[in-house]
Amino acid sequence: MQFLKATGFLQYFKIKRLYKQSFPQNERKPFSIIKSMQKKGKTDIWYFTEKNQFIGFATTINGSKTILIDYFAVCKDTRGKGFGTKMLKTLLEYYDTKGVFLEIEIPYTTALNYDERLKRKKFYLNAGLSPMGTQAKLFGVDMELLGFNCELTFDQYREFYLNNYGKFAYDNIKRID
């Protein structure tokens, strides 16, 4: 498997298409913001291939001590073949000097996509991430944090967003009652 930081039109086109297919609209930020953050050095947009075939992407938000895997997706036709695990482990190795975390929808048993949420959580746990004990309502979506060599309290999590995205994002992270 190969991975590189996306730079070309075709790479961005493939990533953006998979991004729209993989994440519900209420969980997607405008792709232009992601690209803008990349230009500022605050975000990495990773393009993964296997034998020159696009297999997935990841975006990160790069803090000074912690990395948020903001979006992570594998192409439908390559799922279930171990590529997602390889992609994730590649990212964890690349960022091995920092704590890495990500957000997943809390797998409430009442959620319409409960099985999907549970499967996603199991995938990340099997790949070596652990529950961090932090949950938050992020722009109205109940999220749980999973981490690798990383611990963040709720307040530290909000501070991460304030430092990397500003007050608007910070103000849209709430405690779950």
**pLDDT tens sequence across 4-48:** 999 999 999 999 999 999 988 888 889 999 999 999 999 999 999
Give the pLDDT mean for 54-81: 95
- Here the tokens at position 140 are 């109205």
Contact 41, 60 (CB under 8 A): no
Of 50, 113, 51, 129, the closest CA to residue 82 belongs to: 50
Q: What structural domains and CATH numbers belong to the chain?
A: 2-174 (3.40.630.30)
pLDDT category at 80 given cuts 50, 70, 90 is confident
CA–CA dist 50, 2 (Å, integer): 6
Residue (of 94, 26, 30, 22) closest to 55 by Cα position: 22
89 contacts 58 by C-beta, under 8 angstroms: no
Question: What per-residue confidence (pLDDT) applies to 25?
Answer: 87
Note the pLDDT of residue 46: 98
The residue whose two tokens read 């994730």 is 88
Give percent of the chain above pLDDT 70. Answer: 100
Q: 10 Å Cβ neighbour count for 36? A: 12
| Edge-to-edge order in the sheet of strand 66-74 | 2-5, 43-50, 53-62, 66-74, 99-105, 141-148, 130-138, 173-174
